Amino acid sequence: MPFERVWLPRFQAVNRSLRLVDTGAGIARQRMAAHHHEHSAGDSDDHADHNEAILDPHIWLSPPLVLQQARTIWIALSEVDPAHASLYAANFRAFVNEIAELDTRVRDLLAPVGNERAFMVFHPAWGYFASAYGLEQWPVELEGKEPKAAELQEIIERARTRRVRVVFVQPQFAKRSAETIAQAIGARLVTLDPLAEAWADNLLQAAAGIRAALLPPT
């Protein structure tokens, strides 16, 4: 994250022997998703071009990518503390099993979902999770900003056409636009917190929430 990188030179200035390890090294980053709308001939595409340059930082919401991060951490710890390399290796193997179990449980939860696999969120934090499990997130905001009135109306019409029943929000962002959409189409607001501390349980809750949002009402 940019705000984190600002601090790195200061940390190294205090401790010259400090080793910095990028746990996201080797992970292909996705562009942040944005809501899609039709352009008229005179529309500017500047905001769309700018949005394409923004990479999604939320790699911790994908179990397969977290496993890659764990591998990077395991290797780095083994290099700086070789005396305990066997312990780090054992812990990594145990974590591999935990990730495999979590991945299976998430897939089982989402298995009943049919062909309509797009879910509406305010902030596009769930792109890597969606990619891992054959889903598509449909965000309301654009580059951290709420949609303008015309864009909001277009989103409402699309949501009504696709019979969206749930709009996902997160505690870190205002809900005004999401509330407007939900009220207009008769949908519910459901909270998904990408920063929840109970990581595995949170992903299971997210999968269950998305499943409930996408399955036809009984």
**What pTM did the predictor assign?**
0.86
Average pLDDT of every residue of the chain: 89
Q: Across residues 136-158, what is the average pLDDT?
A: 89
Give 24-53 pLDDT, tens digit per residue.
Answer: 999 999 988 765 444 334 444 444 444 445
Q: Over 60: is that where the pLDDT of 150 sits? A: yes
Q: Does domain 59-214 have CATH number 3.40.50.1980?
A: yes
Every domain of the chain and the residues it spans: 59-214
Enumerate the β-bridge partners of residue 145.
142
